[in-house]
Structure 1
């Protein structure tokens, strides 16, 4: 990790080179004092963190499509891509696999270091003058984004929590100095993340327009709050983490708060594809934007999807059998006659023609969304009856909105859990979340992608990406 931190400090992360405060073309460094001498420096730096997260190495490709989706077994991979085929079989130690692992790790930590810079600067006394409440929003966003990334590092590089809550492959670094970071267990790191998120939630509860209804003149805060780490996004992330560490009642209460807020809603069928009388598409929303608690804006995903999931020779969805004919999520799939009727994932597909731009909403990757809150609440209720929730009603709400067959009122607990898994398979195509669901439950067999009763046997080690070789050489990689 030492080399990563050096890189981060010298360049303040190369993907931010489009930002006005960064000069990577000279040997000189931009001082932190200069960088944060104006309000613009804070806005630019925090915006740059979102840009980094939306890049190819993270949520613009690898963590929503290229790296994590094949591990769910829901896709075929071209036989000509030997390394990628092995990756989909959990053989991570190919040349391409090692490069992929290293890119995710290094980019994530570089972006975390930039969060650390912003967090420290936002807590200093000698800051530029902001409109009251704005610095609290900025600080909360930085804390929330850092926690989001750390949690995904845990979910990728540490053992399953059920197997080993003391796994310690993810160094915890909260500064931007040359130290490597603290060796810390999953249990300990989750406690740190929840403390940060609790602080962020309080700051946003008092200031975030999406929660308070306040209006600001500040240009940054006036941006669409569902595309920022907002109050409900922090709450949703806390629900996700509490579910992960098996605090079911707490997870339920957090998820239920979002459900009861009615700030987000399920998309209606006629909002997904709107056509004229001749069948020409006028409006398209395959992302299901009304459901987004936090959608990360990134145009990178459009190219990534086109190159790997929408073509004639790349990754194809194995089967559409998990979806009923009436399921609105079928709009995410396209049976391609030019590819021998193989099924493309077209969730992110859009026309590049200038005249078609008005058909689409913002280009975002789902990071936290309403259906997950229903599934968390349902699963938490199933595993802890003291929540007082109704798992069947919660699942049936999703099924009703997706226009699929609902569970019977007397469904068994086994059937309820099976349907929760079914909904994760159906509802998270192209998001990278299904693999994490399997890992959280340490499932020993998973659907093979054809939804016909066949499964793939899973070993615990399949659920953990190995650390980059330079990290192992430096002394990490021992989970105990």
Structure 2
């Protein structure tokens, strides 16, 4: 292999307990590629660097959770031009471009690893399949989100040019592929990852795999906050739902739902403990990014500048008005904290715990925030239930009804009325309403509106679906050089 010097982004993924480290890594710098990948530690460091990139503010550290994807669907009070869909605004264009660049930077990091794994002797890596499967899963996941952001509405544009699918670590131009071609590449990577991760230690250790396992290889550590076997299943379920393949979407969703010894829907006792409310609903996370710097990034935007805020009628519209809602919904009760300044705001409390005994009614000030949930949700169990519910709708509506009610009951809502059990139209609407209630501050609702190509529901009235609304602009520089 040609000797080269690469800038390899290294970092730390810490455990959910602040005192444990996943990897002891050397400082950021230039590392000879042959030396870097001569053992498993170098491979794992490169994976860690990828996760660090994905937690940047341009990616899931803000924009793809709280940021413009949630602004577009009008979750927040007006912040900037995304609220008005002014996609030509220079500031907003810069934000889109930042996401595009950071996501492809993460893909490049994964491709560097995969390229060196391909050129290495498989026998010298005890956990070769685990590492490669994780890398392929990450590459597919990031490309899928890029397609869902910048690609065409698939109901009308399957054969249109969409994005590049990068499979090599190089500076060579990659031409844009059709959406159908990109979907084919994503499917190939995910299915290979699914096979490679068939013996993932998360199957044996379950939620314990979120913590430091004594006397286990580094590749076994913190599987619950990485692209593990079930994260690949979840991505496959999401992928096949996007393609409209209900049977395959249900197959992979059901595999997660059936893993009840590992993943369970929320229970009331999960919310409260000695440290205050656990609002992340952690037991439902299929996988998440661990962000050690969340307080200075997302935390500042939420709890210091109050950039992302709502008014009380908006909360009522989402949780009480739509979809057989209730003021007792745990999400309504616990996720929202009141801030009284010159104006009264409500801010999302999902990412931090407080010592307030009643966070729903108390005024929250900065000093009250004590414990940060340093997790950025990527796939959670409730979404898997919604995917399975939709996949069953045409052939087994009562099962759709049952699955929706399982999530509703876990959120302290009453089951849907019995006479809706076979009402496909109403059940489909209920799935959308549950998406609206569930994914505030997680960046998921935009994708659901775009996939269905349906009007955005707001308190002021619905916003008509259009390709101009849902197809975010690709950076001009990319179109000039690779979009032919």
> TM-score, normalization: structure 1?
0.85
Match of 1:190 among 183, 188, 193: 183
Q: Any conservation in 1 of the 2:238–2:387 contact (CA below 8 Å)?
A: yes
Find out whether 1:226 has 2:246 as its counterpart: no
| 1:4 equivalent in structure 2 | none
Alignment of 1:303-452 (within 5 A): 303-311=296-304, 314-318=307-311, 319-321=314-316, 322-323=318-319, 324-330=326-332, 331-338=334-341, 340-350=343-353, 360=371, 363-382=374-393, 384-385=394-395, 390-411=399-420, 412-443=423-454, 445-448=455-458, 450=459
Q: Give a deviation string over 1:316-371, Cα, whole Å, max 9, x none.
A: 1241112221111121111323353321112113469xx999x7575111101100
Alignment of 1:3-402 (within 5 A): 11-12=7-8, 20=25, 24=29, 29-78=30-79, 84=80, 86-126=81-121, 129-131=124-126, 134-205=127-198, 207-212=199-204, 217-262=215-260, 263-274=262-273, 282-311=275-304, 314-318=307-311, 319-321=314-316, 322-323=318-319, 324-330=326-332, 331-338=334-341, 340-350=343-353, 360=371, 363-382=374-393, 384-385=394-395, 390-402=399-411
Question: Shift of the alpha carbon at 1:218?
Answer: 4.0
| Alpha carbons of structure 1 residues 145 and 389: separation in structure 2 relative to 1, 3 Å | farther
Q: Any conservation in 2 of the 1:333–1:345 contact (CA below 8 Å)?
A: yes
Q: Any conservation in 1 of the 2:8–2:28 contact (CA below 8 Å)?
A: no
Q: How many residues matched?
A: 442
Question: Shift of the alpha carbon at 1:53?
Answer: 0.9
| Alpha carbons of structure 1 residues 309 and 400: separation in structure 2 relative to 1, 3 Å | same
CA RMSD of aligned residues (A): 2.8
Q: Give a deviation string over 1:58-102, Cα, whole Å, max 9, x none.
A: 111111112211011111124xxxxx2x22211122221121111
Q: Which moved more, 1:142-151 or 1:207-216?
A: 207-216
Q: Any conservation in 1 of the 2:276–2:353 contact (CA below 8 Å)?
A: no
| 1:81 equivalent in structure 2 | none
| 1:473 equivalent in structure 2 | 480
Q: Any conservation in 2 of the 1:233–1:293 contact (CA below 8 Å)?
A: yes
Question: Shift of the alpha carbon at 1:301?
Answer: 3.5
Question: Shift of the alpha carbon at 1:190?
Answer: 1.1
Q: Give a deviation string over 1:90-130, Cα, whole Å, max 9, x none.
A: 11222211211111111111110111111122233436833
Question: Shift of the alpha carbon at 1:37?
Answer: 2.2
Q: Any conservation in 2 of the 1:137–1:204 contact (CA below 8 Å)?
A: yes
What is the rounded CA distance, in whole Å, between the counterparts of 1:312 and 1:172 in structure 2? 37
Q: Secondary structure at the match of 1:446?
A: coil
Find out whether 1:455 has 2:462 as its counterpart: yes
Q: Any conservation in 2 of the 1:424–1:434 contact (CA below 8 Å)?
A: yes
Give 5+ residue unaligned stretches, structure 1: 1-7, 79-83, 276-281
Q: Give a deviation string over 1:438-474, Cα, whole Å, max 9, x none.
A: 000001x2211x3xx8322232211111011211222
What is the rounded CA distance, in whole Å, between the counterparts of 2:139 and 2:289 in structure 1? 14
| Alpha carbons of structure 1 residues 19 and 11: separation in structure 2 relative to 1, 3 Å | farther
Q: Any conservation in 2 of the 1:21–1:35 contact (CA below 8 Å)?
A: no
Q: Which moved more, 1:307-316 or 1:394-403?
A: 307-316
What is the rounded CA distance, in whole Å, between the counterparts of 2:268 and 2:449 in structure 1? 29
Give 5+ residue unaligned stretches, structure 2: 13-22, 207-212, 320-325, 356-366
| Alpha carbons of structure 1 residues 66 and 19: separation in structure 2 relative to 1, 3 Å | farther
Q: Give a deviation string over 1:162-215, Cα, whole Å, max 9, x none.
A: 12112323111101122222431111211211111111111111x211125598
| Alpha carbons of structure 1 residues 474 and 340: separation in structure 2 relative to 1, 3 Å | same
Q: Secondary structure at the match of 1:405?
A: coil
Q: Any conservation in 2 of the 1:38–1:128 contact (CA below 8 Å)?
A: no
| Alpha carbons of structure 1 residues 127 and 376: separation in structure 2 relative to 1, 3 Å | closer
Q: Any conservation in 1 of the 2:161–2:179 contact (CA below 8 Å)?
A: yes
